[in-house]
Amino acid sequence: MTTKYTTDHEWVNIEDHDAAVVGITQHAQDALGDVVFVDLPAVGSSFAMGDVAGVVESVKAAADLYMPVSGEVVEVNEALRAEPALANTDPLGHGWFFKVKVSDMTEFDQLMDAPAYEQLVKDS
């Protein structure tokens, strides 16, 4: 499994040759504070890289969730919908947002690896 990151603080794990899991980073959940609601995309919806795919609302603010790679949503995390705080308690695990069937794997190569993302966070 390979994890990459966006400048908008989403992470994406490629599980196999065309499936990916998407969530928000530890930095994003720290900045948002206590997550109280998530608006997840509908299964079957298709998005281009960079499209708004959902919304995360916290006690501090609301933030758009951007699609890190183009593709079709094949599953959403219903546990997160029922318990939005999972985005805070386990953002890189049980707090994942949705799974996507990637339509263009070359987009994955445009995302940041962990050291590049850590530098982005450090510089911000």
Concatenated DSSP letters of 67-112: -SS-EEEEEE-HHHHH-TTHHHH-TTTTT--EEEEES-GGGGGGSB
User: Which pLDDT score is estimated for 18?
Assistant: 75
CATH level 3 topology of 2-102? OB fold (Dihydrolipoamide Acetyltransferase, E2P) (2.40.50)
Instruction: For residue 5, name the pLDDT band (cuts at 50, 70, 90).
Output: very high
User: Which pLDDT score is estimated for 117?
Assistant: 97
Whether the per-residue pLDDT at 113 is higher than 90: the answer is yes
Residues 105-121: what's their mean pLDDT? Answer: 94
Torsion angle in degrees (nearest 10) through CA of 37, 35, 55, 9: -160
3-state helix, strand, coil in the chain (%, to 5): 25, 35, 35
Instruction: For residue 78, name the pLDDT band (cuts at 50, 70, 90).
Output: very high
Q: Tens digit of pLDDT for each residue in 29-76?
A: 999 999 999 999 999 999 999 999 999 999 989 999 999 999 999 999
Helix (H) or strand (E) holding 60: none
Instruction: For residue 16, name the pLDDT band (cuts at 50, 70, 90).
Output: confident
The pTM is what? Answer: 0.93
Question: Residue ranges per domain, the chain?
Answer: 2-102
